[in-house]
Amino acid sequence: MNIYFDNAATTIVREEAAEAVLRVMRTNYGNPSSMHRIGRAAAIELADARRSVATALGAEEGEVYFTSGGTEADNWAVFGTAGVTFRHGKHIITSQIEHSAILEPIKKLESEGWEVTRLKPDSNGRIPVESFADVLREDTVLASIMLVNNETGAVNQLAEFSKEIKRRGLRTVLHTDAVQGFCKIPFTVKSLGVDLLSISSHKIHGPKGIGTLYIKSHNRLHSMFFGGPQENKKRPGTEALPAIAGFGVAACLGRKELDETSASVRELHEHMIRSLGERLPQAVVNSSGDSPYILNISLPGHNSEVLMNYLDGNGIYVAKGSACKKGHRSHVLEAMQLKNEIIDGALRISFSRYNKQDEVDQCVTALENASKTLRRAVRNGKTSK
């Protein structure tokens, strides 16, 4: 039995995307920059995939730039903006609940003399619009706030942040890491009002190693790499066409199925909360429920890693936080100022379109058994810590 509830870390590649990857590797293997017939066919493949991703974002094709994934897109957004805006100011706004792909680049800039304001989340894990407005300044050149938090599923009001910037007539470039929101919650780049936006293929049942940075038309961004003319001279190097083709298919189908999949996942999310309430009333729900794809819970008195290992032994795969944290304590839950016992007993359960209700039931049963077994071990002189 394998029950996979770690979809916020990565997802299984859907069959249609895998077929596209293999097809391009085997039959449409040309370099899109080559001028012969096979190269021209590859260029058409690249353009089709770019169009699919752009359509799913509500963007223009020329605003979509392929990267190696969400981390590169985030780094490019931060360093690329800093490289062209430093003459106008050196103040950056971000939040305490960002992914490491944002926190670390900004920390690097801070070490070089940039001023950084890190906003605290409220008790639901969201960044209040009022807090954002209070710290926005004339010299704020970049604001990077994630759309959907990767540990709690809390959704931030990017459109309101954008309105505040525009209302005050500021130059501030607004970026969002939308990796956990793309093809999961309804939005377009225009509805959010952002200048830059990062997404990743492997979070939506596409292949790993490919992502996108949306760059709004006429928005200047310093390049991180230099070489050939690929990606409009902004991101040189031969395109990873097989992965790009798979991403295009995943984006196209993900956007088309968004409403249906979200409704199905919402049912799973709510069913798990009800089941936990009935069978494990001591369980605490840490997430707001904004995005149904991510459910963060705690079993106070138990250790996250021990619980995770117990479930692993039963073929059920969850996480204690972001995969990039490598077992470290959740900085997101700490920023929300949750009690230590809540943080130490936290698990992230993340759903996909392929999960079923009976898998939720089996997970709750396993958690119930884990709690009983671990309490018994404590009574017998052992510890779950």
User: Strand 140-144's sheet: what is its strand order?
Assistant: 64-67, 211-215, 196-200, 173-177, 140-144, 91-95, 115-119
Phi-psi region at 31: left, alpha or beta (left = phi > 0; alpha = psi -120 to 50): beta
In whole angstroms, give the CA distance from residue 270 to residue 242.
Answer: 37
Write the CA distances from 155 to 147, 283, 296, integer angstroms: 6, 23, 14
Residue 284: phi and psi, rounded to 5, are: -115, 130
Q: Judge whether residue 377 has pLDDT over 70.
A: no
Which residue is it, tokens 């073929």? 315
pLDDT tens, position by position, 79-120: 999 999 988 999 999 999 999 999 999 999 999 999 999 999
Q: Judge whether residue 7 has pLDDT over 50.
A: yes
Give the active site residue among 183, 252, 324, 363. Answer: 324
User: Quick check: 102 and 150 in contact, CB under 8 A?
Assistant: no
Pairing of strands 211-215, 64-67: antiparallel
Q: Is 324 a catalytic residue?
A: yes
The domains of the chain, with CATH numbers, are 3-11+258-374 (3.90.1150.10), 15-256 (3.40.640.10)
pTM of the model: 0.95
pLDDT of residue 384: 45
pLDDT tens, position by position, 308-357: 999 999 999 999 866 555 557 899 999 999 999 999 999 999 999 999 99
In whole angstroms, give the CA distance from residue 342 to residue 132.
Answer: 27
pLDDT of residue 1: 73
pLDDT of residue 375: 72
Write the CA distances from 173 to 57, 182, 197, integer angstroms: 18, 20, 11
